[in-house]
Amino acid sequence: MDKRWLLLVALTIGVFVVLVGYGDFGDTLDEISSLSISYLIAGLALALANYLLRFVRWIFYLDVLGIKAPAAVSTLVFLSGLAMSITPGKAGELVKCYFLNSKTGVPVSRSAPVVVMERLTDVISVIILGLTGCLLLPVSIIVILAIALLATVIGILFAVSRHASRAVSLPILSRWTDLLKDSQNDFKVLAAPRVMFVGVAVGSVAWFAEGLALWVILKGIGSEIDLVKALPIYAAATLVGAVTALPGGLVGTEGSMLALLQQSGVPRAGASAGVVLVRLVTLWFAVLVGLLALLALQRIPEFETKL
């Protein structure tokens, strides 16, 4: 196993041990073991719903840009990207561009805007979900959500502006100017109001599903809170984790979710158990699905002429 993966596994185990210890080992483990199989399946089903909806958006974006790929390849490429959920800000999902190129010959410059727009619409969707609880979250979290939304919108506006067009023509970027211009043109297409609306709408429903998974898990261990609290808590914790830039949002996501759950009245042991379980059901289930897709993708022959 790669040393980076070993380090990641060690960090994850460390975080989970701290969470269990914080809630008292005995009490937290009792809470975790109290989750029935039906609630576990429901949580996993909601996580799968998130992946399915994001896959629909992936297909939609490819179709908008006129990118053709065999259904099996496109599906495995998308799912393999889930293995990169553990990378900081999911930036590793750009590897999907390489996979699509190696299996179908689609230029990286054409698929890169799709992956970038996926991440941007995810950020906007999560922020929208978080702001639904603006009266319930601490002011500091609301400020982070607002700044993230503003930064994302400004970034999109800059990317489609003439200033960005001039930037890609700078001498220092001359080697990649044509590729960058192609990517910018495709990005502009994806940033069109209608396309953006569809992307954000689908993303919002997808992340609603994972927020619902948190509510289901808490209900399953007897630490239920109102859904109107669970959704913004999940969204805010997800964004805080992304801001920390640690792999998979580790520490930041768990810490903020734990604090917000306790603030909402969830007992210490229940909050600790809920965080451990929801991270297994969402993040690590996604990584497992992604790794299985990677193994399947390796069985598909390489495209003869890569561009």
Long-range contacts of 152-159 (CB under 8 A, 24+ apart): 152/120, 152/123, 152/124, 152/127, 153/124, 155/120, 156/120, 156/191, 159/184, 159/187, 159/188, 159/191
List the domain boundaries for the chain: 3-297
CB 233 within 8 A of CB 261: yes
pLDDT of residue 164: 62
- Does residue 8 surpass a pLDDT of 50? yes
DSSP character at residue 99 = H
Instruction: Give the model confidence (pLDDT) of 186-200 as tens digits.
Output: 889 999 999 999 999
- Per residue in 209-248, pLDDT (tens digit) is 999 999 999 999 998 899 999 999 999 999 888 887 778 7
Tokens of 121: 């619409």
**Which range has the worst mean pLDDT, 89-93, 114-118, 172-176?**
172-176
Task: Give the HSE-up count for residue 108: Cα atoms under 13 Å, Cβ half-sphere.
Answer: 13
Q: Name the residue with higher pLDDT: 66 or 86.
A: 66
- How open is the CA angle 200-206-207, to the nearest 5 degrees? 90
One DSSP character per residue, 201-267 reads HHHHHHHHHHHHHHHHHHHHTT----HHHHHHHHHHHHHHHHHHT-GGGTTHHHHHHHHHHHHTT--
pLDDT in tens, 126-171: 999 988 877 677 777 788 778 888 888 888 887 777 766 566 555 5
The pLDDT score that the predictor gives to residue 174 is: 47
